[in-house]
Structure 1
Amino acid sequence: MTGYPHVRIITTGGTIASLPQDNGDLAASLSGEELVQRLGMASVQVDTLTTMGSFAFNYETLAFIGERVIEALESPDVQGVVLTHGTDTMEETAFYLSLTTGHYMKPVVLTGAQLDASNPHGDGPNNLRNAVCIAQSESARNIGTVIAFAGFLYAAREVRKVDTSALEAFDSPGWGPVGRMDGDRVIVLRQADRRPVLNVKVPVPVALVRLGVGMTGAEFQQMCTGYKGVVLEAFGRGNAHPSIHSEISRLVQQGVPVIVTSRCIRGAVRPVYGGGGGRDLERAGAWFAGDLAGEKARILLGLLLANNVGWQEMWRFVEAYSRP
C-alpha cells in the first residue's frame, strides 16, 4: 500500500494492536507506527494516543480523543481521520465524536479488529486499509463519523457491536450500513444528517438503568441516587413497572433529566401504554429517545450536562438525536 499523505491515523490500542504476552494474556502493545509498518503504508501521518483495550477507557479518554481528532480535522492538509480502537466501546467513542465533530466536512472513520495482530488470518489489516480509503475518498466527504468493519460502513448514531467474536462484529439493527467497500472503491449508500454539535468536554456521569422483570420504583431510586441525569432502558416501546413513573416525576421536579430508551436492539420507544407504561413516563416528564441506544443516550446526556445546556435546549438535542 502506497502513500496517503492527507490521512491522519490516530491509534489507541485495542485488539488490532494486541499481541500475546509471556503469560498468555492478550494486550495492546503495538504503537501506531508499528501498526502501519506492518501494512507497508508510506507517507501516512500517525499519532499514537495510547495502547490499551477500550474496556479500560473512561470519560477523560473520550475527551482526550475528541481533542486530538479535532486538532487533526483543523489541519488543512488532512482530508480525513482514521481512529483505531478496541471493539468493546468503539460505538460509544464513535457517537461521542459524532456529537463533537459533526460540523466538519471531513470523514472520521473508526476501525479495529476481532483477531489480534499475531493471527495470520487477522482482520485488522484489511479493516485499516478500508478505513484509510474511506478517509481520503471524495464520495465520503459528507459521511460524518462512521465505523468501518468487515467491508461495511456504519453510522455512529445507529451502529452497535452485535457479536463478541465474529469478524462481522458490528451492525445497525433496523437501518443497515451507510456504505460498503468494493476493493478500494467506497460506495456510499446514504449520507449523514446534520445535527447540532457540542463542545468537547468530559461528560458528567449519568445513571444507566436497564429494567428487568420485577424491578420497582424503590430499586430504581437506589440506582439513580446521586446522579445529575438518568437514562432508563425500559421494556419494549418504553414501559416500566407502575411504581417507577412517580420516581421519574420526583427526579424531573428536582431538575434531573430522564431519557427513556428501549432494551430492545431494534425499534423505537414511543409513549403508548398507560398503567405504568410509556404514557405515564411521558406525563412524569421523561424524554423519549427513539431508537437511540441507552449507552449513547448516556453519553449525549452527560455531554449536555457538561456543556451546561439549558433544559429546553437539552430537549432539542435529545429530539434531534432521537431520529436517524
Structure 2
Amino acid sequence: MNKNSIRKAFSLMLVALFVSVVISAQAKKTVYILATGGTIAGQGATEVTAGYKAGAITVDELLSAVPEIKNIADIKAEQVANIGSQDMNDEVWLKLSKRVNELLSQSDVDGIVITHGTDTQEETAYFLNLTVKSDKPVILVGSMRPSTAISADGPRNIYNSVATAVAPESVGKGVMVVMDDKILGADDLAKTNTLSVGTFENPNYGPLGIVYNGKPIYTRQSVKRHTSNSEFDIMNLNQLPRVEIILSYSNATALFVDAAVKAHVKGIVTAGVGNGNLTTLMQNALEKAVKNHGIAVVRSSRIMTGPTAQWDEVDDDKLNFSASWFINPYRSRVLLMLALTKTKDYKEIQRMFSEY
C-alpha cells in the first residue's frame, strides 16, 4: 500500500470516528440534575458513624461518585438548595417547581432528576406531580446512608434515576421516586421505615416497576391525574395557603383545632383514627371552624393503607368536610394547599381528592 493509500485510509478512519462520536453525542439525552441537599449529600465523621450532616456536599461532589452516568446521558447540574429535607418549605417548593417547568419547556431538555432528603420526599414528589406541566420524566432520588458511609446507596440510586429518566417508556408516568431498585409513583408514596434503604413504598397501589441492570421495567401505570394533566398552576404564585395537620387519638380535645383557628389557617387536614374518625370534641370544633371561619377541612387517617371514605361514620356532606380517600395526611396537606388556590367549595375540593 502506497503513502497516498495509507493517508486516504487514515482520513476515512478519522471521518468515521468523528461521525461515530457525533452520532453518539446526538443519541444521548440531556438530563438536568437539580440538587436540594438531604442525606444523599450528607457527610459523616467516619464511614461507619451513625451521625452525619445532611446537605454537606455540593452536587458536583455528589455526581463525582457516579461517573458512569455520563455514558448514558448528557448531564447538567444545578444546586437549587442544600438543606436537610426536614427543613423543606413552600419557598423551595415553588422555586423548584418553577425551575423544573422552565427546563422541561426547552426542546433540548429530556428529563429531570432531583436529589432530595427522604424525610419529606413524598411531599415534594406529590407537589411536583400536581404542578409540573410536562410529560417528560421527573425523578426524585435520595438515600438512607450519607455519601461517606460504607455501601452508600446514593450512587446506585442516582445511576438508576438517570437511566430511568432517559428511557422512552418513562414518558407520561408522572413524577416518580427511584430508590432501592424500585420505581415508585408520587400518587401513593410513603416512607415506611426510619432506617432501611428499602423505606419507600407505594402501599396501596404497589410500585410502578423496577430498575434491572440499568433499565426500567414498568408493571403498572399511575391511577391518578398528574403532571401535564393537572389543573394546578403555580407559575405566578409566591406563597401557598397555610394548611395544618391535626392528629386524632384517644382523649383528643379541641385544643389544636382552636389554636389553628386563632392562627388564621386556611385549611386543616386531620390524621384521624381508623377510617379518619375523630373524637366528638374535635369533630364539633372542626364543624365550627368550617361554619364560623370558612376553614376547609379534609379528613384523612393515620393508618398507612386503605381509604378514608366519605360515607361511613362521619357525614361529610352534613359537616361540609372532604374525605381524602387513599391520600395520606402529608400528601393531603399538599393537595389542599393547591386546591385552596382555586376554590373553597368543599364539593370541588372533594372532587380533587377523588381525582388526584
Shift of 1:148: 0.6
Q: CA deviation at 1:218?
A: 4.9
SS in 2 for 1:153: strand
1:182 aligns with 2:212: yes
**What is the alpha-carbon root mean square deviation over aligned residues?**
2.2
Tell me if structure 2 keeps the 8 A contact 1:80–1:107: yes
Tell me if 1:194 matches 2:225: yes
Which structure has greater helix proportion?
A: 2
* Gap change, CA 1:272 and 1:301, over 3 Å in 2: closer
On the 8 A contact 1:262/1:291 being kept in 2, the answer is no
* Residue in structure 2 matched with residue 247 of structure 1 by the alignment: 285
Which aligned runs of 4 or more in structure 1 are off by greater than 6 angstroms? none
2:29–2:166 Cα contact (<8 Å) kept = no
Deviates more, 1:65-74 or 1:259-268: 65-74
The 5 Å alignment of 1:43-54 reads: 43-54=74-85
Quick one: distance in 2 between partners of 1:52 and 1:180?
A: 28
The corresponding residue for 1:265 is 304
Matches of 1:52 and 1:28 in 2, distance apart?
5
User: Are residues 1:215 and 2:252 paired?
Assistant: yes
**Corresponding position of 1:13:** 37
The aligned residue for residue 6 of structure 2 is none
Q: Decide which of 229, 241, 250 is 2:267's aligned counterpart.
A: 229
Gaps in structure 2 of 5+ consecutive residues: 1-23
What letter matches 1:36 in structure 2?
A: L
Residues 112 and 139, structure 2, Cα contact 8 Å, conserved in 1 = yes
Instruction: Report if the CA contact (8 A) 1:8-1:46 is conserved.
Output: yes
Listed as ranges, the matches of 1:153-172 within 5 Å are 153-172=183-202
Aligned-pair CA distance for 1:313: 3.9
Structure 2 match to 1:302:
337
Call closer, same or farther: CA 1:304–1:219 in 2, change over 3 Å. closer
Whether the aligned pair in 2 keeps the contact of 1:148 and 1:154 (CA below 8 Å) is yes
Describe the SS at the equivalent of 2:246. Answer: strand
1:219 & 1:105 partners in 2: Cα distance? 40
Counterpart-to-counterpart distance in 1, 2:110 and 2:246: 40
Q: Between the two proteins, what is the percent identity of the paired residues?
A: 27
Q: CA deviation at 1:149?
A: 0.8
Q: CA shift at 1:223, angstroms?
A: 4.1
Paired amino acid for 2:258: Q
Q: Where do 5+ consecutive residues of structure 1 fail to align?
A: none
Whether the 8 Å contact between 1:82 and 1:109 is mirrored in structure 2 is: yes
Tell me the distance in 2 between the aligned counterparts of 1:31 and 1:266. 37
Distance 1:52 1:241 in 2: 37
Distance 1:51 1:21, change over 3 A: farther
Q: Which residue of 2 aligns with 1:278?
A: 314
Q: Which residue of 1 aligns with 2:117?
A: 86
1:26-58: CA deviation from partner (whole Å, max 9, x where unpaired): 232221122222211433111111222111111
TM (norm. structure 2) is: 0.82
| Residue-by-residue CA offset, 1:155-214 (whole Å, 9 max, x unaligned) | 112011111111101011122101111111111112224343311243211121010100
The AA in structure 2 aligned to 1:309 is: T
Q: Is contact 1:19-1:27 (8 Å) kept?
A: yes
Q: Which amino acid aligns with 1:96?
A: F
2:8 matched to which residue of 1?
none
Structure with bigger gyration radius: 2
Q: How does 1:59-78 map to 2 (within 5 A)?
A: 59-78=90-109
Name the SS of the counterpart of 1:147 in structure 2: strand
SS in 2 for 1:28: coil
Offset at residue 25 of structure 1 (A): 4.2
Alignment counterpart, residue 288 of structure 1, candidates 292, 298, 323: 323
